[in-house]
Chain A
Amino acid sequence: MAAEERTASVRFMVILLNIATYWLWLEPTGLGIPALAAALSVVALAYGTYDLLFRPYQHFPILAMSLWTTLTDGILVTVWLHATGGFESPYYLLWYLSLVAVTFRYDWRAPLLAAAVYAVLYTGLVAASGSLAVHGVGLAIRVSYIFLCGGLGAMLARETTRAFDARSRLAERMREAESFRSLAEASTEALVVSSDGVVLDCNRAYCELMGMAREELVGATLLSLLEPSSWPDAERHFADPSRPLEVWRNGPHGRQLLRVEARTITYQGRPARFASLRDVTNERELQGRAEQNALHLSLALEAGQVGTWDLDFATDTTRRNARFDQIYGHESPKARWSLDDFIDAVEPEGAEGARRAFEEARRLGRLELECRIRWPDGTRHWVALQGQLRFGKDGVPTGLAGIARDSSATHRAEQARVEALESAARLKEWKATSLLAAVVDSSIDGIVTKDLSGTITSWNPACEALFGYRADEVIGRSITLLYTEKEAQEEERILARIAQGQAVLVREARRVRKDGSVLWVSVSASPLRDADGTVVGCASIQRDVTETRAIERRRIEAKEASLRLAAVVESSIDGIVTKDLRGTITSWNRACETMFGYRADEAIGRPITMLYPKGDEKAEENILSSIRQGRPVRIREALRVRKDGSTLWVSVSASPLRDANGTIIGAASIKRDITEARLAEKERLDAKTRIAEFEHLKEIDRFKTQFINTAAHELRTPLLPLRMQLELLMTDAEHPPLPSQRENLEVMQRNLERLGGLVEDLLTVARSQAGRLQLNTAPLDLKEAMRDAEQTFRTLAASRGVRLVVEPSEPVTVLADGKGVVQVLTNLLSNAFKFTPAGGEVRIGLRRDGDGAILTVSDTGAGIAPEDIGRLFSPFVQVHDTSQVPQPGSGLGLYICRQLVELHGGTIGCKSPGRGKGSTFWFTLPGIPFRPPSDAAPEWNPRP
């Protein structure tokens, strides 16, 4: 179980026990119970043994407080109960809530809150019981008591915890310190802590390094542990420990070189130095030896050219190689060479400096010396010496070793330079008094003189400005300093010609400034002669042409560009015109000539508005005003006039023209003839529209056809089973319908046939409207058709009591759609029967009419008013005599008849003397021979 859980469980037990205690206390016989409560509390303590053993400081005050309040408050309550006989239960609950809060939070506010809540609640309860006066004092006591106990307990618990925690932290730190100490002890690095130069503590490694016991070391001053020679270094190091220190110590282990690295730390609350030490005696010796080896190696490499020497301080003798002696002018090696020999060889004026250099070298570790020496033969030479200290085992310098070089040659060169400078100085002096010199100096051109080897001998101020070198920097140096690599050869050629006495002019030459930048100069070089006329050098005048050259180049480029542009303009197929800001034409290319008919010489100088249609000249003002503001102008389509007065459409794109300063001086306008393109575009659009319209019509047509086909199918399909079922019922031999049923069936059949007819009529009209009504023509015997019709209507005529008469006629055969003709006849006949009352007569007649025929259907029926005859054959027209019963019909029949007849090329008509006087319908079928039909008849049924 984790410690926290255990603690929590103990707290919980304590609280539980306290509650139990109170409960028991309150129980009527309860005065012996406190003993039990105490016993339970002890059990709680036992249960929490772990915590009580390890963290008793936390529980003690709480337990104590709990027991105390339990006992005292119990007594108080008991007394109170006896005295008042009141009710107290809520009080305990609140009290324990506060106790819980106190126990878990150690917080002052918890009992305060509990007391406050209790006060409010209790007041309410007491007020309800009506005895506030009696309980007022009791209430005050109880509230104060709760607050006091809770508060005291919380404070006690908190303070105890705080005190213990502080102790526990201290112990923790001590443990940490202990572990660090053991780490330090185990370290092989010698570690020491000091303050104000006195050892405070150290580890075992340090004791071993020092060869002393810790007791001796602690309290000792650091300096006392070191050689006095190292004290100044050590003291400096105390002040600034940032850099490592190396110090000598002469201890029980002999002479040691110790490397010290130190940091400032806080030790036992005070600032202190923490240092680690290492014995580097051996390292130092090894390092010295390694350095010496390296030196010897480099010396060996230079042997022959370089003299080597090794001066031993102890014996004051120098080991040398043969070359060394030669450098000092000794034919055969000298027997001994001491430090004094170094000094003595030096010319008297340098002797003191040389001696100082050697002394310095012992301190600095290095020797760098160049001095003039006198050889035994009396000649003077320069020698350069370089050397380095070497150290013995104990780190003490034991000698100085190095090399010697004859530096006379270098010095001669330097000498020459100095002399050149001197002569330059002399020249300057001379110039100061010479007019020529004044000219040279004040020349804005760089003037430089050089000898025939190319060494610069004079350099005027303009040159300084031009090339960035001061005179003293260049005099004595080769002129090739100013050259790029490529031009060094050129210089040789120039000098060769100068040597022959010729002047040389170089128009453009590349030179390099001191800062590495390139410039272009024109060079005019002429020979310099001495008094005898011998060429001794060259004077050259250098003029900066960098800028000129760039300008020239730009000029050439611009000229080339303008030539190219002119060629482009001239060969352009677009008309290109330039005009000034007043709109006067300033140039006119060849395409313009073709486009507008004006030649260039006719157009230039005239106003551009001559190309505008009359009244349109103001547009040019707008263009020019845009141009003046620097804005280009684009006109997609503009009408222009040719020389011959014809017009053309152009697109115009005008842009401002600027002079070299950027000022707008006119406009360049590009015109493209778009007359053709415009026409083509228009045609293209028209064609597109037409195609779209055509497509649309096709689409509508497709839709119509599809609609009619679908309608035909879908309207006809349900009629078929109806018809067949009716037929079955009416002709059922096994169960014939009763007469009354037969009547019903006949009504159904009649109306079904009407519906079928109506569907067919509607489809025919729709086909006709869609232009899809087709005839299937074949030779047709009209007399037979007439007889068929009479057969069809015979039954109807009989039932209506109307006489049906077929007038006698000769046979007539025409090319016609049999079905169509029958449909027309049927329609006319059913109309006739519809409007003819019983006792009337309907007649069918046929007459030849030229090659064709006229068929008539006349009746003695209702007749038609003359004003109605004209609209009889329009669709959805029904002409009724209002005095009569309306007759059913779709109003399509006569319309379909007209369509069918007209499709045959015939005409249809009607005549009637008036209402109630009968009517005669007639139609003609022309006899013109029809083209033989290509399609099979819809109902095609070859006889077997």
Chain B
Amino acid sequence: MTMTTDPDQGKRTILVVDDEPDILFSIKLLLERSPKGLQVVTAASGVEGLDVLRSRDIDLIVSDFKMPGMDGIEFLLQAHQLKPDVPRVMFTAYADAELARRAVAEAFVQGFLAKTMPPRELVQRVEAILGD
């Protein structure tokens, strides 16, 4: 990448994968408004997410669990195989222990967030995982 004029340059890029367009749209706005300067790219499915992951650098992946076709665990596992260094978070309405266990054991996620948590908290958690 040689785009020195890119205003987004230097921003941390987060890939959000969810099959609900409204959720994608809302998360994108919410995270990009963060004073930390986050850039959000979205994908509507696991396959699309993997394509994005192949084509550009990503700093964090946030993925839904229940999606048509490839589910969140499968997607995050493949993402792990593709770019092992990118941290992954599962963000789901199925907030139960069993799914959390699977997400850790099978997809090696670094975080497991419930969709019921207040939006502000979501932003804080994401920022926390990105560090600095």
A residues near B, CB below 8 A?
A: 709, 712-713, 716-721, 723-725, 727-728, 731-733, 756, 760, 774, 776, 935-944
Q: List chain B residues, Cβ under 8 A from A940.
A: 100, 104, 111-112
Of the candidates B22, B97, B116, which one forms a contact with A716 in the assembled complex, judged by CB atoms under 8 Å apart?
B116
Closest to B97 in A: A935
B77-97 interface code vs A (CB 8 A; 1 in, 0 out):
000000000000000011111
Of the candidates A724, A733, A760, A939, which one forms a contact with B119 in the assembled complex, judged by CB atoms under 8 Å apart?
A724
A938 engages B120 (CB within 8 Å): no
- Which residue of A719, A725, A776, A939 has the most chain B CB atoms within 10 A of its CB atom? A939
Q: A724-B30, A727-B120 given as contacts; is B114 within 8 A of A939 (CB)? A: yes
Of the candidates B96, B101, B119, B131, which one forms a contact with A723 in the assembled complex, judged by CB atoms under 8 Å apart?
B119
21 contacts between A and B (CB under 8 A): A712-B94, A712-B95, A713-B94, A716-B116, A718-B22, A720-B93, A721-B26, A724-B119, A724-B122, A725-B29, A727-B118, A728-B33, A728-B119, A756-B116, A760-B116, A774-B97, A937-B97, A939-B95, A940-B111, A941-B128, A944-B129
B57 is an interface residue with CB less than 8 A from chain A: no
Complex CA distance for A731 and B124, rounded to whole angstroms: 14
List B residues 54-84 near A (Cβ within 8 Å): 66
Closest to B87 in A: A944
B116 engages A717 (CB within 8 Å): no
18 extra A-B contacts, CB within 8 A, seeds A712-B94, A727-B118, A938-B112: A720-B115, A724-B27, A724-B29, A724-B119, A728-B26, A733-B33, A774-B96, A935-B97, A936-B101, A936-B112, A937-B97, A939-B95, A939-B114, A939-B117, A940-B100, A940-B111, A941-B113, A941-B128
B1-36 interface code vs A (CB 8 A; 1 in, 0 out):
000000000000000000010110111011001000
Complex CA distance for A721 and B30, rounded to whole angstroms: 10
A942 engages B66 (CB within 8 Å): no
Q: A724-B30, A944-B128 given as contacts; is B97 within 8 A of A936 (CB)? A: yes
B27 engages A936 (CB within 8 Å): no
Q: A709-B94, A939-B112, A939-B113 given as contacts; is B26 within 8 A of A720 (CB)? A: yes
B115 engages A941 (CB within 8 Å): no
Q: A720-B23, A721-B20, A944-B131 given as contacts; is B100 within 8 A of A937 (CB)? A: yes
Of the candidates B33, B100, B117, which one forms a contact with A935 in the assembled complex, judged by CB atoms under 8 Å apart?
B100
In the complex, how many angstroms separate the beta carbon of B121 from the nearest chain A beta carbon?
Answer: 10
B100 engages A728 (CB within 8 Å): no
Question: Across chains A and B, which 10 residue pairs bring their CB atoms closest together, nearest first?
Answer: A724-B26, A935-B97, A716-B93, A721-B22, A727-B119, A721-B26, A713-B93, A724-B119, A720-B115, A938-B95
Q: List chain A residues, Cβ under 8 A from B114.
A: 938-939
B residues near A, CB below 8 A?
A: 20, 22-23, 25-27, 29-30, 33, 66, 93-98, 100-101, 104, 110-120, 122, 125, 128-129, 131
A941 engages B33 (CB within 8 Å): no
Complex CA distance for A709 and B93, rounded to whole angstroms: 9
Q: List chain B residues, Cβ under 8 A from A938.
A: 95-97, 100, 112, 114
Complex CA distance for A933 and B100, rounded to whole angstroms: 14
Closest to B64 in A: A717
Closest to A767 in B: B96
In the complex, how many angstroms separate the beta carbon of B115 from the nearest chain A beta carbon?
Answer: 5
Complex CA distance for A929 and B114, rounded to whole angstroms: 29
Q: List chain A residues, Cβ under 8 A from B96.
A: 774, 938
Q: List chain B residues, Cβ under 8 A from A941.
A: 111-113, 125, 128-129
B23 engages A721 (CB within 8 Å): yes
Closest to A728 in B: B29
Q: List chain A residues, Cβ under 8 A from B26.
A: 720-721, 724-725, 728
Q: List chain B residues, Cβ under 8 A from A716.
A: 93, 115-116
Q: List chain B residues, Cβ under 8 A from A713.
A: 66, 93-94
Q: List chain A residues, Cβ under 8 A from B116.
A: 716, 719-720, 756, 760
